[in-house]
Structure 1
Amino acid sequence: MDHKTKHILIVGGGYVGLYTGLRLQHRLRRELRSGEVRITIIDPQSYMTYQPFLPEAAAGNLSPRHVVTPLRRMLPKVRILNGRVTKVHHAEKTVTFQPAAGPSEELSYDIIVMAAGSVSRTLPIPGLADAAIGFKTVGEAIALRNRVLALFDRADSTDDEQVRRRALTFVVVGGGFAGVEALAELEDMGRDAVRYYESLSEDGLRWVLVEASDRILPEVGPEMGAWTLEQLRARGIEVKMRTLLKSCEGGRVVLSDGETFESATIVWTAGVKPSPVAHAGDLPLDERGRIKTSPRLTVVGTRDAFAAGDVAGVPDLTNPGQYCAPNAQHAVRQAKVLADNIVSTVRGRPLRDYRHRYAGSVAGLGLHKGVANVYGIKLHGLPAWFMHRTYHLSRVPTLNRKVRVVADWTLALFFKRETVSLGEIESPREEFRAAATTG
């Protein structure tokens, strides 16, 4: 490698990684063309997932392929490496890279961007690791959809009341955006699907939301959160407030209020924590285990290191003493400032602070149902649902994806959604293996 080439390494290909790469390949096109700069992104996946659309993908309103954006197509001037960074040695400006296959290797860099995002924050609850599923990836969303529909099939195909009750009891732990939207969309889909089963009815389905605090959807404010709670309960969803999941071994759910029941589906959405790579190196951390970051999105106490998104503790300059919330609204905007500050670093110019006043939030609660609190304007029902879709459509990267999402929504206006389980795609070799072993 030419010693004059400056290597920018981005760890993570989510919101921050993608949008930082996009802006850098545009603003540094002269340096990239001349070979003065090269950019690399490391991520286990070759795509970025637009997570706000995961509930709609789980409910069958959107094709799963349309909620992901291919990194290589979006970033033709950026090297994409699939694998994980297992160690950061910023003092030496190297990382240990573990590719998807083959031995690990050391990669050097001149500027590093920590954008690895977050992972599900779990607790040492007996049975959680074996019985529950998260809701952060497109794989989890589609697996959950297939599971719910497969359990409808199972319940309709047996006369055993205990098997039916277990199959038709669905539990979501966590009353934030992910939990409420996932539960609301799946319940909406379930109401559509159950009509095609002779022995099942809406009354036989049990949907349970477990929340440790005294409110749900805190992002939309107390008033809209209370409205959402009323709506969910009016739909027959059990919302258990100030309640903890104590155990779920073998699918036997034990709650802190003393209730015990069987469930074949337990979804864990009770918060996130920074990616483990934040702890795997010599970058400073804050009290919550995030990379300690300045308002300029530089890593505190270092040079040539930047961080943003869920993995970073970024001070909120519009709310002194607080940190920016770990959401897409901040991540996309931080990526723009971060990329500009890297350009300034490369060109020897001063850096600028990240400042964004939180605009509010929108949430979908199923087809034609939603809740919103944006710049103090509070909406619910159809207007909020329309705002939810319009806002997120505007944020989906690339015209290609926008058109495909609109096409999915348009078809849904004229045709009923698909309610078939394709769970076999998760283990496609089982039938072949069975045939091979029986000769």
Structure 2
Amino acid sequence: MARPRILVVGAGFAGVECVRRLERRLSPGEADITLVTPFSYQLYLPLLPQVASGVLTPQSIAVSLRRSRKHRTRIIPGGAIGVDPAAKVCVIRKITDELVDEPYDIIVLAPGSVTRTFDIPGLIDHARGMKTLAEAAYVRDHVIAQLDLADASHDQEERASRLQFVVVGGGYAGTETAACLQRLTSHAVRRYPRLDARQIKWHLIDIAPKLMPELGDRLGLVALEILRRRGIEVSLGVSVAEASADKVTFTDGRVLPCRTLIWTAGVVASPLIATLDAETVRGRLAVRADMSLPGADGVFALGDAGAVPDLVKGGDAVCPPTAQHAMRQGRKVADNVIASLRDQPLQPYEHQDLGLVVDLGGRDAVSKPLGVELRGLPAQAVARGYHWSALRTNVAKARVLTNWVLNAVAGDDYVRTGFLARNPATLRDFEHTDAYLSAEQVRAHTAALRASGT
């Protein structure tokens, strides 16, 4: 009798935790485990701003899957672009662009998210994201290039536009990105004899009325004061009305000469979710508390892909798509997959919030572990201690710790690698949002497979 086939889509926090748990708790002959991911690493997303600012090297937060797994899981290098729950087939585009069809008995959907965009003129062509390792590396090169070009220019208008930076999004990603990059550019002035620190201007804008509301009013105001004290202009209740190559227009009518627009205004579930043609909640699959999808046999969804009911808050609340939840959901869904294989009852996901940490670079941070409000060095120690402990391999921990120590002792460097200099580097290019099939295309594809007998 053939062994059950478990297919896990995505190597983010949820997918990796699920695979690790399955490998530990399933006997070698109990099931076949396959993981679909375009990269052979788990990206530790919360530290991307530190890669963009050069505090950490890209390799530091790319945690090797080959090093952390037990060599039982088969890894398909590619991305899932469609799922047919009726046929129990997942369509995968390999990194060679070859399409393959992967049958499954149980599928765990943890494909993560993509940057949320709006129908704003020029946004797709001129904004840069901060969701992938390539985007962080590109943003770093781009920001340093603006300093280089401004220092070399005799044109005051060009210099002004190159030294003005806009970050959209007052959540964790946007706030930490603006803080870390502002710190980089403020330190860089000492290395550029023709630049003045007063010429470099950073703007952080968000349509929301508060900065990082999850922190609470008091800590949110502390974070706001830290940013403004460092010279970052924070504008709330404002967004982008239009973007071009050398200027950004805000919804309040301001027009800024600007060559750098970093877009971190939220995320949406992977386009893969739409291919299932199932009920969604704000773009995420409407799953039960045990993370199974109603009406679809053997389908589980979690993390950014699943609107998992928040049993602690009750009502219609769903768990926020954070790394903290994704890791715990990954372990719980693995237990439920095993339970379904062994004809045991599935268990609901419940959580206890561990708190929040925000690293603003240097000695600046705000944290709220288990409801305790911290700021300054104690908050920084908690933030970095949490991130360091969450890294899954000792090699990754050693690299991150070494980079932190080196940066603290030697300071920043301002080297451009240049390997992405000629790429258009749009959101679509880096996140491959146009690679997915529609639900109708997936069904037609699998129907053709059945008709051909393959």
TM-score of the superposition, structure 1-length normalised?
0.93
- Which residue pairs with 1:301 in the alignment? 295
The match for 2:4 among 1, 6, 9 is: 6
Letter in 2 for 1:9: L
Give the whole-Å Cα distance in 2 for the aligned partners of 1:125 and 1:164. 26
Work out whether residues 55 and 403 of structure 2, in 8 Å CA contact, stay in contact via their aligned partners in 1: yes
Deviation, structure 1 residue 110: 0.5
Q: Is 1:134 matched with 2:125?
A: no
Letter in 2 for 1:72: R
Q: Is 1:348 matched with 2:346?
A: no
- Which residue pairs with 1:16 in the alignment? 14
Q: What 5-or-longer segments of structure 2 have no aligned partner?
A: 424-454
The match for 1:183 among 172, 178, 181 is: 178
Letter in 2 for 1:4: A
Letter in 2 for 1:136: K
Letter in 1 for 2:159: R
Deviation, structure 1 residue 425: 4.9
Q: Is 1:278 matched with 2:276?
A: no
Give the whole-Å Cα distance in 2 for the aligned partners of 1:285 and 1:73. 37
Work out whether residues 219 and 360 of structure 1, in 8 Å CA contact, stay in contact via their aligned partners in 2: no
Work out whether residues 370 and 384 of structure 1, in 8 Å CA contact, stay in contact via their aligned partners in 2: yes
The match for 2:113 among 104, 115, 118 is: 118
Give the whole-Å Cα distance in 1 for the aligned partners of 2:419 and 2:86. 48
Aligned length: 421
Deviation, structure 1 residue 262: 1.5
Q: Is 1:394 matched with 2:399?
A: no
> What aligned pairs does 1:324-363 form with structure 2 within 5 A after superposition?
324-363=319-358
Give the whole-Å Cα distance in 2 for the aligned partners of 1:281 and 1:144. 34
Give the whole-Å Cα distance in 1 for the aligned partners of 2:341 and 2:181. 48
Deviations 1:321-373 (A, max 9, x none): 21101110100011110111111111222221110122221101111110112
> What aligned pairs does 1:228-247 form with structure 2 within 5 A after superposition?
228-247=223-242
Q: What 5-or-longer segments of structure 1 have no aligned partner?
A: 429-439
Give the whole-Å Cα distance in 2 for the aligned partners of 1:58 and 1:264. 17
Letter in 2 for 1:7: R
- Which residue pairs with 2:308 in the alignment? 314
Work out whether residues 138 and 420 of structure 2, in 8 Å CA contact, stay in contact via their aligned partners in 1: no
Q: Is 1:172 matched with 2:170?
A: no
Deviation, structure 1 residue 171: 0.2
Q: Is 1:38 matched with 2:36?
A: no
Deviation, structure 1 residue 38: 0.8
- Which residue pairs with 2:143 in the alignment? 148
Letter in 2 for 1:140: E
Give the whole-Å Cα distance in 1 for the aligned partners of 2:241 and 2:170. 16
- Which residue pairs with 2:401 in the alignment? 406
Letter in 1 for 2:295: G
Q: Is 1:27 matched with 2:25?
A: yes
Structure 1 pair 118–407 and aligned structure 2 pair: CA distance change class (3 A): same
Structure 1 pair 42–404 and aligned structure 2 pair: CA distance change class (3 A): same
Work out whether residues 57 and 141 of structure 1, in 8 Å CA contact, stay in contact via their aligned partners in 2: yes
Q: Secondary structure at the match of 2:102?
A: strand
- Which residue pairs with 2:441 in the alignment? none
TM-score of the superposition, structure 2-length normalised?
0.90
Give the whole-Å Cα distance in 2 for the aligned partners of 1:105 and 1:197. 52
> What aligned pairs does 1:189-204 form with structure 2 within 5 A after superposition?
189-204=184-199
The match for 2:59 among 34, 40, 65 is: 65
Deviation, structure 1 residue 426: 4.5
Moved runs in structure 1, 4+ residues, more than 4 A? Answer: 425-428
Give the whole-Å Cα distance in 2 for the aligned partners of 1:396 and 1:73. 12
Deviations 1:235-283 (A, max 9, x none): 111111111210002232111111002211100000100000000124x
Q: Is 1:257 matched with 2:260?
A: no
> What aligned pairs does 1:67-106 form with structure 2 within 5 A after superposition?
67-75=61-69, 76-106=71-101
Give the whole-Å Cα distance in 2 for the aligned partners of 1:77 and 1:421. 39
Work out whether residues 358 and 367 of structure 2, in 8 Å CA contact, stay in contact via their aligned partners in 1: yes
Deviation, structure 1 residue 102: 4.5
Asked which structure has the greater RCO (Cα within 8 Å, sep 6+), the reply is 2
- Which residue pairs with 2:442 in the alignment? none
Work out whether residues 215 and 225 of structure 1, in 8 Å CA contact, stay in contact via their aligned partners in 2: yes
Work out whether residues 221 and 373 of structure 1, in 8 Å CA contact, stay in contact via their aligned partners in 2: no
Superposed CA RMSD in Å reads: 1.4
Give the whole-Å Cα distance in 2 for the aligned partners of 1:290 and 1:163. 43
Letter in 2 for 1:37: A
Letter in 2 for 1:244: S
